[in-house]
Structure 1
Amino acid sequence: MTIAEDDPRQPYEQAAETLRREIREGVIQPGHKVGSVRELASRFHISPTTVQKALGVLRDEGLLMTTGRGNYARDPKQVADAGQPGNSADLSEVLLKLEHVTSQLSELRDRVERLEASRPGRADEN
């Protein structure tokens, strides 16, 4: 899909609208990646900066959640209901964030263990 040159909207707005429609119609399922910035730039024939702007629009609307592992679609029904009292947090979003935090914690633990093992005189301390 390319961005229409005769469309009065900015390219990022056109890309955001296409992704918004795909999320709302279920083409991109809740909890699934919408694609990397590079993939989307290639798909829409726009710059990565323009893609990031489009993703920012969808993130601001609550349709995307971004983690260190990518951009994921959120359930549009939950986004629409989010402002109503009594609704719980999006479980898939919480699970994705937990997975990301767990991964970061594991990486940090590995780094600390490697640093500790490489300290001079480490064998003498035990």
Structure 2
Amino acid sequence: MTIAEDDPRQPYEQAAETLRREIREGVIKPGHKVGSVRELASRFNISPTTVQKALGVLRDEGLLTTTGRGNYARDPKRGTGAGKSGSGPDLSEVLLKIEHVTSQLSELRDRVERLEASHSGRADEN
């Protein structure tokens, strides 16, 4: 899909509206990726900066959550949670963040093990 040049809305607003509709209609299901910035920029034929702006709009509306692993749709029926007393964080959002942290820790552990093995090999040579 390309952004319509004759549409009076800004390109980021058009992209946000398309993604908003897809989330609300269930085309993009809660917890599923909406696409990377690069994929969305290509899909809408807009710059990555414009995509970031569109994603920010959806994040502000509570339709999207972003982790280090990507952008994920949230359940549109849940709303933003703004103004709800005692409302806690969305469980799926917490689980995504835990998964991301776990992945980062695993990568760090692997790097440390490689560095230690490399360092140990050098020490044996001396």
Q: TM-score, normalised by structure 2?
A: 0.86
Q: Which runs of 5+ in 1 are unaligned?
A: none
Q: Which runs of 5+ in 2 are unaligned?
A: none
**Deviation for aligned residue 1:5:** 1.4
**Deviation for aligned residue 1:82:** 4.7
User: In structure 1, what residue type is equivalent to 2:100?
Assistant: H
Q: Deviations over 1:20-47 (max 9, x none)?
A: 1211222211100001222212221212
Q: Percent identity?
A: 85
Contact 1:20–1:58 under 8 Å retained in 2:
yes
CA distance in 2, matches of 1:62, 1:30: 11
User: What SS does structure 2 have at the residue aligned with 1:66?
Assistant: strand
CA distance in 1, matches of 2:32, 2:83: 23
Kindly report the root-mean-square deviation, in angstroms, between the aligned alpha carbons of the 2 structures. 2.0
Runs of 4 or more, structure 1, over 6 Å off, are: none
Residue 84 of structure 2 corresponds to: 84
**Deviation for aligned residue 1:62:** 2.2
**Equivalent residue pairs, number:** 124
Residue 39 of structure 1 corresponds to: 39
